[in-house]
Amino acid sequence: MEDLEIEKIKKAGNIAAQTLEYGKNLIVKDASLMQVLDKIEEKIDELGGKPAFPAQISCNHLAAHFCPDEDDIIFSDQLACLDVGVHVDGYIGDTAVTVDLSGKNKNLVKASKEALDNAISVVKPGVTLTEIGKAIQDSIQKYGFAPVRNLSGHGLGKFEQHTKPSIPNFDSGSDEKIEKGMVFAIEPFASTGAGIVQDSGIATVFMMGNKRPVRNMITRQVLREIETYNNLPFTTRWLTNKFGAKAKYALREMEQLGMIHSYPPLADRDKGLVSQAEHTILIDNDGKVIVTTKM
Ligand code: MN
Ligand code: MN
């Protein structure tokens, strides 16, 4: 990996970490979830980055992909997973934290946080993915919770939010190894329920798929905007802020034409509460482990 790439990954990680801290402190009783998302994305911009994906705050039994464009939530006693992604010239930092507004879920928050810390402490070149997964599983089960098995950490590429390898949240048996030069996110989720998530509700998070010619004027405008996201995920709210409600017609048309992938909110199958913690890790050319999201 070149020094310039490493610098950009570190910069993206740094901005992501600062933004996560900022956003976490905005999640308080009576605040509007959508306003918090707007402020987080303004902060990313102010610090010199761009969102690698739409900021998301998934509450209670939702684990990921909650990013509303109209049905706002006012915070009261939610368990809120805040997930922030930043890119600098395509190099990505991805990090998440859970805020427990009720104060009743301290152990659940601790479980995913400790799982992340313990996973990072076993990371080095040559460690297998199953060893990382086992560290996560053991940490979460110690508290009596379930690791979410069908969500995983992931490699990060230039303008690629999810690439190989997939980092399991359980002892998966994978003998694939961590190598020098790898960049990846580790993201344990702990659940009081099934530890399996499934699609729940209408998608507002999308990613460009197969481009096709479109005739409708508004769809063409929206498509041009989407192209500026460089194949990274985007959300309905960004487009309705810019084009108004008609952006939704454009999205629907593109969905029907199979042009975009949609990512609906993901909920625990048994409606268990879910906590999340995440950091981006870089293994440099000397094999040194750098957690880009810690300053
Ligand atoms: Mn994330
Ligand atoms: Mn991630």
Across 40-61, average pLDDT: 98
Same domain membership, residue 256 and residue 270: no
Same domain membership, residue 188 and residue 111: yes
Is residue 176 flagged as an active site residue?
no
Checking if the pLDDT of 1 tops 90, the result is: no
The pLDDT assigned to 272 comes to 98
Same domain membership, residue 218 and residue 177: no
Ligand nearest to the CA of 64: 1
Give the domain extent around 226.
205-263
Is residue 94 flagged as an active site residue?
yes
Give the torsion through C-alpha atoms of 118, 119, 125, 128, to 10 deg: 120
Same domain membership, residue 285 and residue 141: yes
Give the distance (Å) from ligand 1 centre to CA of residue 104: 24
Give the pair of three-digit tokens for residue 238: 């960004």
Checking if the pLDDT of 139 tops 60, the result is: yes
Give the distance (Å) from ligand 2 centre to CA of residue 96: 8
Give the distance (Å) from ligand 2 centre to CA of residue 187: 6
The pLDDT assigned to 107 comes to 98
The pLDDT assigned to 293 comes to 78
- Candidate from 40-44, 185-189, 289-293 with smallest mean pLDDT: 289-293
The residue type of 35 is Q
Ligand nearest to the CA of 83: 1
Same domain membership, residue 269 and residue 251: no
Q: Which helix (H) or strand (E) holds 56?
A: strand 50-59
DSSP conformational letter for 227: H
Count how many domains the chain has: 2
Give residue 110's pLDDT band: very low, low, confident or very high (50, 70, 90): very high
Give the distance (Å) from ligand 2 centre to CA of residue 220: 30
Give the distance (Å) from ligand 1 centre to CA of residue 94: 5
Same domain membership, residue 270 and residue 177: yes
Same domain membership, residue 8 and residue 150: yes
Same domain membership, residue 244 and residue 269: no
Same domain membership, residue 17 and residue 130: yes
Residue 171 near residue 99, CB atoms below 8 Å: no
Across 238-264, average pLDDT: 96
DSSP assignment of 79-120 equals: EEEEEEEEEETTEEEEEEEEEESSS--HHHHHHHHHHHHHHH
Ligand nearest to the CA of 153: 2
Same domain membership, residue 225 and residue 128: no
Residue 105: count other Cβ atoms within 10 Å of its Cβ: 22
Give residue 247's pLDDT band: very low, low, confident or very high (50, 70, 90): very high
Surrounding ion ligand 1 within 5 Å at CB are 83, 94, 96, 278
Same domain membership, residue 269 and residue 153: yes
Is residue 162 flagged as an active site residue?
yes
DSSP assignment of 230-278 equals: TT--EEHHHHHHHH-THHHHHHHHHHHTT-EEEE--EEETT---EEE-B
Give the distance (Å) from ligand 2 centre to CA of residue 272: 21
Q: Of residues 38, 160, 162, 261, which has the active-site annotation? A: 162
Same domain membership, residue 232 and residue 168: no
**What CATH number does the domain containing 223 carry?**
1.10.10.10
**What CATH number does the domain containing 56 carry?**
3.90.230.10
